[in-house]
Amino acid sequence: MSDKEEQKVKTPYPFFIHDQYVKDISFENPNYLVKYSETDKQSQVSVNVETNVIKLNDDNYEVTMSVSAKSTLEETSIFVLELVYACLFLSVQ
């Protein structure tokens, strides 16, 4: 058996997850001094999720999931959250 065959991981799937990591994270609370509990109005929250695949070489792929969330009350921004979570997938075929 060759060295390359010995390094292959046995799995019923054509790939396996080698690593998982937070690639980027940001949280902003620009108006933390404003007391939102003193109002009867509801804040608006929007969430956006996107995925992206980057081929690193013949057997490796990086898959990222970008999540952004933003909350506003009238025209005032309450918070902004941005997260990029990534996985390194390796092909076993």
- Rounded CA-CA distance 78/43 in Å is 8
Query: pLDDT value at position 35?
Result: 65
Query: pLDDT value at position 1?
Result: 44
For the record, the structure tokens of 92 come out as 């076993």
HEC-encoded secondary structure of 30-57: CCCCCCHHHCCCCCEEEEEEEEEEEECC
56 within a domain of the structure (yes/no)? yes
1 within a domain of the structure (yes/no)? no
Query: pLDDT value at position 26?
Result: 97
Query: pLDDT value at position 14?
Result: 80
Question: The domain that contains 69 carries what CATH number?
Answer: 3.10.420.10
Mean pLDDT by 10 residues, the chain (93 residues): 54 83 95 70 92 92 96 88 96 77
The pTM for the full model equals 0.73
CA 80 to chain centre: 15
For the record, the structure tokens of 55 come out as 């081929």
Q: What are phi and psi of 43, to 5 degrees?
A: -80, 155
